[in-house]
Amino acid sequence: MPFAIRKLVYKDILKIEKMDIPENKTTCIIGESGAGKSTLLKMLNKMYIPDEGSIHYKGTSIKEMNPVSLRRKVVMISQTPLLFGETIEENLQKGLIFSEKPPASQEELESILEIVKLDKNLETNAEELSGGERQRLSLGRVLVMKPEVYLLDEPTSALDEETELAVMNRFIEAAKAHEGTVIMVTHSMNVAEQYGEELIRISRK
Ligand SMILES: Nc1ncnc2c1ncn2[C@@H]1O[C@H](COP(=O)(O)OP(=O)(O)OP(=O)(O)O)[C@@H](O)[C@H]1O
């Protein structure tokens, strides 16, 4: 059980009595706009600290954990894709630098671009990418890191339905190949129904 949440309160935004998120599975978080879905994800990697209650990661309270080491294991993609360098290659390698891992080979990076269906060269300037392409680059960047947990905040919101389903299918398969846990906020009932092994609905407090 990577995450066990008990009696959590955050401002007047979130109140969760008990929530368990399973390991090596895909959990989809759904709920109306403003319900607190992004807030919950940000608590799981200690970007926000609950006012009350506890969050345990693999049996240890995250209060006791160093935020940087937690974020190397529990990696987040924000709702608005961020760029971390000039070229696609720099963006893909950035997560490895952050987690102090050796750089990936060109072949590995090219296979990651295929998984996320980003048909571009590694040398392409990332500034040229569209919103949907940047989302796929972000998915690629976290996939290269092979973290224990992926926190994905609407990772495919800018993609058309067909591409969204194809990308998530391949992403989840790749994450599971190294025993990753995927926790994803999504507005897409298609994605939630097809890939959510667990479904958590958040409603306004
Ligand atoms: N740091 C903060 N301080 C105060 N209020 C906040 C903070 N972060 C978010 N909120 C508020 O908390 C509520 C929940 O926001 P959150 O972004 O978690 O919702 P969401 O369910 O992810 O919404 P959406 O689906 O629209 O992205 C919103 O009303 C938002 O304005």
pLDDT tens digits along 155-169: 999 999 999 999 999
Contact status, residue 168 vs residue 26, Cβ threshold 8 Å = no
Which pLDDT belongs to residue 141?
97
Each residue's pLDDT tens digit, 60-92: 999 999 999 999 999 999 989 999 999 999 999
Sequence-separated (6 or more) residues with CB below 8 Å from residue 154: 79, 185, 186, 187
pLDDT at 183 over 90: yes
The mean pLDDT value of the chain amounts to: 96
Kindly tell me the number of DSSP H helices and DSSP E strands found in the chain.
Answer: 7, 9
Query: Of ligand 1's atoms, which has the minimum distance to the CA of residue 39?
Result: 18
Q: Are strands 3-10 and 52-57 parallel, antiparallel or unpaired?
A: antiparallel
- Provide the residue count of the chain: 205
- Which of 11, 12, 38, 40, when mutated, tests ligand 1's pocket best, judged by the most ligand atoms within 8 Å of its CB? 38
The 10 Å Cβ neighbour count of residue 63 is: 11
Q: Please identify which residue in the block is written with the tokens 């990332």.
A: 126
Give residue limits of the domains in the chain.
3-201
The model's pLDDT over 111-147, given as tens digits with 9 standing for 90+, comes to 999 999 999 999 999 999 999 999 999 999 999 999 9
- Report the pLDDT value the prediction gives residue 1, as an integer from 0 to 100: 80
CA of 81 to the centre of ligand 1 (A): 17
16 band by pLDDT with thresholds 50, 70 and 90? very high
- Could you give the ipTM of this predicted complex? 0.93
Provide, rounded to the nearest whole percent, the portion of the chain with pLDDT above 70: 100
In angstroms, rounded to a whole number, what is the distance separating the alpha carbons of residues 2 and 203?
22
Query: What is the per-residue pLDDT for 205?
Result: 65
Residue 204: what pLDDT?
76
Q: Are 5 and 55 in contact (CB under 8 A)?
A: yes
* CA nearest ligand 1 atom 8, residue: 39
Query: Candidates 10, 15, 37: which one to mutate for ligand 1, based on the most atoms within 8 Å of Cβ?
Result: 37
- What CATH number belongs to 3-201? 3.40.50.300
Query: Letter for the amino acid at 202?
Result: I
Q: Could you tell me the two tokens for 12?
A: 């007047």
Mean pLDDT throughout 5-21? 96
Name the more confident of 50 and 1: 50
User: DSSP string spanning 82-100?
Assistant: PP-SSBHHHHHHHHHHHTT
